[in-house]
Each structure stands twice: as C-alpha cells, then as structure tokens.
Amino acid sequence: MEKKILDIVINEQVSWKALLMKLVKEEGMDPWDIHVGKLTAQYIQSVKDLKQANLNISGKVLLAAAILLRIKSTRLVSDDLAEFDQLLTPPVEEEAFYDSLEQELRQKEVHDHNYELHPRIPQPRKRKVSIFDLVNALEKALEVKHRRINRIDEVNVEVPDHVDINEAIDNVWGRITDWFTRVKEKLTFRNLLKEDTRKEKVNVFQPLLHLAHNQKVFLKQDKPFGPIEILKEEPHED
C-alpha cells in the first residue's frame, strides 16, 4: 500500500480521475465493463490511505467519493430490481420460443376468431458500464455541484454606522432643553423627531430612555401606543 501511495504522489497528480484509472489498471478490470461496487470500495480505501499518510487531498477527490457511493447504491438497487424481475419473468429467448410454439398451435383458432396478438415487451438487459461512462458521469455531477455553488448569491449585510451613545444622549438632551426654553409648551416624543423615519425614532428613543433612567426627564403615556409626553418634573398622580 505504501508503494501505491508513493507511485500516485511521484508519478501522477492526486486527482479523482487519475486515481480511478490507476485502480482499474491495478485491479485488472475490463475498462469497458467495470465493477462499480468494487471500484468504489477500492477508491474510498485509497482516499483513506492518502489521508492517513497526511497527504493533501483536493475537495474534488472527496466529493467524487461521495458521488461514487451514490452511484453505487443507485446501481445496486437497480440491479436487485432487475434480478427480481428476472425471477418472475423468463428470459427473452425462452419466451420467444414458447410464443412461437403457442402461435403455431393456435394459428387456426386465432385466424378463425380474428384474435389480436400483442407482442410481449422484452425485459431490459443489464447494461455494461465502462470507466469512461463513470468518468463522464462524475464530471457532470461535479460540474453541477460547481454551478450550484456559484449560483449562491452573496448576501450584502448593511452594517449600521457606529453611534456614540453619550453623544446621542447629549444631542437629545439639547433638543429637550431648547424646546422648553423657546416653546415652553407640552413636549411629546414626536416633537423631538427631525424626520418621521424608523431610524430617527430609534436614534431619539434610546437616548431618551437613558435620560429617563437617570431621572433627568420623566415620561408619561396615558394609554398604550398613545403619545409619549416628556416632562421636566415627575408627574403627580391625581
């Protein structure tokens, strides 16, 4: 096994395609009729050996192993179903013989009664898989995976501007004192807003809570979701 790893590293680039071709050659498989299950097992074992040897393995080599396992499992299920069908259905040649014999014995009866004969649909034969078929299938699967990754849109997250909370508190406090100095009327939260936007409401409301917590101002709201009144002194209960 050490010699096999050394040969791969020295003579060839460690790629999934080179590894598959090398395994087919070493296992003495017919390139035009490979054993997918056996080749998959050998491929995965080789990948494990390369990892144990602390060699860098590309992501495509590992992804090819996962795709091979899927191909193997799909093929095994298909083969099992095909074998089950063969147990229930005689071979095509045997069916043809009995069909021909039956037609000869019943030719007169069929001719007299005008029966319509329906030909039997032959069962599909197990198709041989070449190493080139397998490589092409893997290349297509890897390309699809690559396209899916490239199709993932980048998420643009807008990072809010840094806000100095102390500066924001001073700003809101300045608006409050200016209002009571100039206007000398009831002050509500809406009066402090420079514009009716969500951002402005947040930028004013947070500093206002700090001011209320430090008892520099007092907040009064008669009903839920109603106007918020800002007072210089704590309101007295009636």
CA pair distance 169, 167, nearest whole angstrom: 5
The more confidently predicted of residues 141 and 198 is 198
Q: What is the mean pLDDT of residues 157-183?
A: 83
**What's residue 3's pLDDT?**
47
Pull the structure tokens for residue 12: 């060839």
Counts of helices then strands in the chain (DSSP H, E): 9, 3
Q: What is the mean pLDDT of residues 147-160?
A: 59
- Across 48-57, 68-77, 80-89, 185-194, which has the greatest mean pLDDT? 185-194
Determine contact, residues 62/162, Cβ cutoff 8 Å: no
CA pair distance 1, 237, nearest whole angstrom: 89
What integer best gives the mean pLDDT of the chain?
70
Write b or e for each residue in 15-54: b if 16 or more Cβ atoms lie within 10 A of its Cβ, otherwise e: ebbebbebbbeeeebeeeebebeebbebbeebbeebeeee
The more confidently predicted of residues 107 and 18 is 18
Q: Please say if the pLDDT value at position 108 is more than 50.
A: yes
Residues with Cβ within 8 Å of 35's Cβ and at least 6 positions away in sequence, in order, are 29
Residue 230 β-bridge partners: 187, 219
Q: What is the mean pLDDT of residues 54-76?
A: 65
The more confidently predicted of residues 69 and 86 is 69
**Domain at 165-231: CATH code:** 1.10.10.580
**What's residue 173's pLDDT?**
92
If you compute the radius of gyration of the chain from its CA atoms, what whole number of angstroms results? 40
**What's residue 141's pLDDT?**
73
Q: Please say if the pLDDT value at position 34 is more than 60.
A: yes
Torsion, CA 86, CA 88, CA 89, CA 90, rounded to 10: 80
Q: What is the mean pLDDT of residues 86-95?
A: 46
CA pair distance 23, 42, nearest whole angstrom: 7
Determine contact, residues 31/131, Cβ cutoff 8 Å: yes
User: What confidence tier does 89 reach under pLDDT thresholds 50, 70, 90?
Assistant: very low
**What's residue 86's pLDDT?**
47
Residue given tokens 């395609």 in the structure block: 17
| Residue 12 CB neighbour total at 10 angstroms | 13
C-alpha distances out from residue 132 to 35, 67, 144, Å = 13, 15, 18
The more confidently predicted of residues 233 and 99 is 233
Chain segment 189-228, per-residue pLDDT in tens: 888 888 888 888 888 898 899 988 888 888 888 888 888 8
CA within 13 Å, CB half, 145: 13
Chain segment 2-15, per-residue pLDDT in tens: 445 444 443 445 57
What 3-state class would DSSP assign to 233?
coil
Report percent pLDDT > 70 for the chain: 56
For the chain, what are the domain ranges? 2-151, 165-231
